Amino acid sequence: MMSRRLFPALIALGCFVSLDAGAVAIDPSDPDLLYTGRWHHANPSAPWTQAKGSSLIANFEGTSFAVTFSTGSTEYYRIIVDGDLAGSVETTLASGASTTLVSGLSDAIHSIEIVKERDVGRATLTAIELDAGRDLVAPPARPNRRIVFYGDSNLAGYSLESERNEGDAEFQGSTYTYAGITARAVGAEYHNISLSGATLTSLNQRYDRVDWGTNNPGWDFNLFPADVVVVNIGANDIFGGSKTTIKNRYHNLLDDLVADHPTSKIVLYNATGWDFDEPANYTHEVVAERADPDLSVATFPWLFEQFHGCETDHAGMAAYLVAHLETLMGWAPAPLDVVSGYGRDGQLGNASFERLAPFGGWGWRYFDDAGVNRVFDPAGALDGDHYLRLADGATNQQTNPASNGETVVVTTWMRSPNVGDEAKVTIGFRNQDDGAESSAPVFAVTDTFVLTTEWQPFVATATAPVSPPDPIFSQRITLEAGASDTVEVDLVLLPEPTRIPGILIGAFGTGLLLRRRRRRGRSARWRGSDSRGGCRPLERDRREVQRVCSGGSSLSLLAVVSAASRSAASRGFHSA
């Protein structure tokens, strides 16, 4: 069975046949093979691993590379040739059959990495074959930095390749979890020791195993002396324990982790903004109570309105962890190799829709909804080569942190193939209990804009409640096409309009002139038309204000986008 996502490459997967009779057999015990992750080598000629993220790396001569794995269940592998992660493919391999992973390469020295993406069972390597007369060459040097990650389903990559909380094996993974993204960014070798459904207690009982399902064999921690241990666990405990009980479980786990990782820096890493009782409320108390200089706490915002994150969400989690590791360890990171659905430095993630994650999303949900398309159009795009097209009521949205009383100003460049089509921009604020798609905003404002065929910037503003019953944790920006309309969007920015390159408030010049009408007031007494302009309220309660902006208005915002300003905007925000 092949993966549902295959990329054009020289990789020839699914060829469940041996190479020709002159093929060179390489024993899995060969010292020029590099094993990463938790492997068991009691039989050096048949090493096995159960842990996701474990891999085999080889440098080899010739045009092809074949392997034989024996597994008890369907397992998924990622095949990376010559370091080309972006061009890698994911596949299943027939158990016990020699599979040519790559062929047709130039007759030279190449590299290959085979990554076990899931943890559905053991994978035993029994054979490797190369072209006749060819051999392995020295493997790459191991990174001199090491990280061990311990966790539950989030770290385990549950629904990693789906935005919709889908846990089937085909949607799980390891390479593009925040563990893998973080490790590559800081140049570290890593182990991902995680299991869906794990609690503090179950992790404590199993983290020292080579195979989650059995305590024999145990793992030798001297084989991988970690610089950093990242612990992302505790979410499943809130359904069966008080704060005091859960804190005691943290202490029990940390007692054992410190004993097994005596020289490591240990980081408690949990999410904020998904449940009122989340462990991040008090993990800092656990750290303070232990008074251990090698123990720290870090958090990341839960911004994906699902119970598990996808690749773009994991990139956002990685960004927060990488920043913590830079402070903790002095590790200067490289850019992340997966586009993030989290905004950083006051901007939205992937603000002009230029980057694409391996699974197909771009950091705005939901990429596979009907009527949602990312269009490649270098000549027509405002910024870069792509823009977003929404049709017939389709939406796309992104969530980012916010706080009580915060004013969010979002400027969105939009157009339509049809003059007069409408677009809506909604800014909604949510509290800490936002761990599911169905959660409702505490307060939201919707603006409706009438579009032309030219790119124009439209500014929407909303202010979070100053003293809500529960604190504001996030704001969600939703872009929506009218019911029978088409909207094209490129470059969505968050700063105040006067700070945005390309917008001059109250000025005239060459380029596009936008006159936007809107209602400034928020009075619950609004009824009917607005005497001060064309904005009238459609609905008003404690959760939502909706406005329609059209027609003549005595209150207007003048914005000019010149050719020079457009260039500046592109330089400043391309591939955000």
pLDDT digits 0-9 by tens, 331-377: 999 999 999 999 887 889 999 999 999 999 999 999 999 999 999 99
CATH code of the domain in which 559 resides? 2.60.120.680
**Cα 132 vs. chain centroid, distance in angstroms?**
42
The whole-angstrom separation of Cα 219 and Cα 119 is: 16
576's tokens = 């955000």
Query: Is 423's pLDDT higher than 90?
Result: yes
User: Which range (47-51, 152-156, 305-309, 490-494) has the least confidence?
Assistant: 305-309
Any domain includes 512: yes
Give the HSE-up count for residue 386: Cα atoms under 13 Å, Cβ half-sphere: 16
* pLDDT > 60? residue 310: yes
* Mean pLDDT within 228-256: 95
**Residue 20, pLDDT score:** 55
Residues 393 and 292 in one domain: no
- Considering the chain, what percentage of its residues have pLDDT values greater than 90? 73
CATH code for the domain of 192: 3.40.50.1110
Q: Is 400 helix (H, G, I), strand (E, B) or coil?
A: strand
454 has pLDDT over 70: yes
Residue ending a domain, choose from 87, 104, 137: 137
- One-letter amino acid of 254: L
Report the percent of the chain where pLDDT is more than 70.
Answer: 81
Q: Mean of the per-residue pLDDT values for the chain?
A: 84
185 and 108 in a common domain: no
pLDDT classification of 554: cutoffs 50, 70, 90: very low
Residue 104 burial (10 A CB sphere; 0-12, 13-18, 19+): exposed
Out of 13-17, 25-29, 428-432, pick the least confident: 13-17
**How far is the C-alpha of 144 from the C-alpha of 352, rounded, in Å?**
37
- Pair 392, 537 in one domain: yes
Number of neighbouring beta carbons within 10 Å of residue 520: 10
Per-residue confidence (pLDDT) for residue 516, from 0 to 100 = 33
Looking at the structure, do residues 279 and 391 belong to the same domain, yes or no? no
Q: Does 379 share its domain with 470?
A: yes
Above 60 in pLDDT, residue 540?
A: no
The band of 495, judged by pLDDT with boundaries at 50, 70 and 90, is: confident
Residue 343 located in a structural domain = no
* Same domain, residue pair 170 and 267: yes
- The pLDDT score that the predictor gives to residue 488 is 98
Is residue 529, in this structure, part of any structural domain at all?
yes
User: How confident is the model over 404-413, as pLDDT tens digits?
Assistant: 999 999 999 9
pLDDT over 60 (residue 431): yes
Out of 297, 329, 361, pick the residue that ends a domain.
329
- Predicted confidence (pLDDT) at residue 29 exceeds the cutoff of 50: yes
Per-residue model confidence (pLDDT) at position 438: 57
Give the pLDDT score at 520: 30
Question: Is residue 283 domain-shared with residue 405, that is, in the same domain?
Answer: no
Coil, strand or helix: which one is 322? helix
- Among 347, 363, 343, 353, smallest CA distance to 493 is for 347
* Ramachandran class of 83: left when φ > 0, alpha when ψ lies in -120 to 50, beta otherwise: left
Q: Quote the domain boundaries for residue 476.
A: 372-573
Confidence band of 519 (pLDDT split at 50, 70, 90): very low
Provide CB contacts within 8 A for 368, sequence distance 6+: 163, 360
Residue 435's pLDDT band (boundaries 50, 70, 90)?
low
Q: Domain count for the chain, please give it.
A: 3
243 φψ region: left (φ > 0), alpha (ψ -120 to 50), beta (else): alpha
- Residue 51 forms part of a structural domain: yes
Identify whether residues 66 and 171 lie together within a single domain: no
Q: What is the mean pLDDT of residues 534-539?
A: 33
pTM for the whole structure: 0.85
For β-strands 443-450 and 544-548, DSSP reports them as parallel
- Co-location of 76 and 199 in the same domain: no
Residue 533 within a domain? yes
Name the strands in the sheet holding 512-517, side by side, starting at the edge strand that comes first in the sequence: 504-505, 556-561, 512-517
Helix (H, G, I), strand (E, B) or coil at 340: coil
Whether 367 is covered by a domain: the verdict is no
| pLDDT above 80: residue 562 | no
19: in domain: no
Please indicate, yes or no, if residue 336 is contained in any of the structural domains: no
At which of 106, 137, 168 does a domain end?
A: 137
Statement to judge: residues 88 and 163 lie in one domain: no
Residues 95 and 169 in one domain: no
CATH code, 60: 2.60.120.260
CB 98 within 8 A of CB 66: yes
Quick check: 77 pLDDT over 60?
Answer: yes
User: Averaged over 375-401, what is the pLDDT?
Assistant: 96
Q: What is the pLDDT of residue 436?
A: 56
The residue ranking higher by pLDDT, 119 or 254, is: 254
418 plus 282 within the same structural domain: no
Beta strands in 416-535, from DSSP E residues, in sequence order: 422-431, 443-450, 456-463, 472-481, 486-493, 504-505, 512-517
Report pLDDT for 513.
Answer: 27
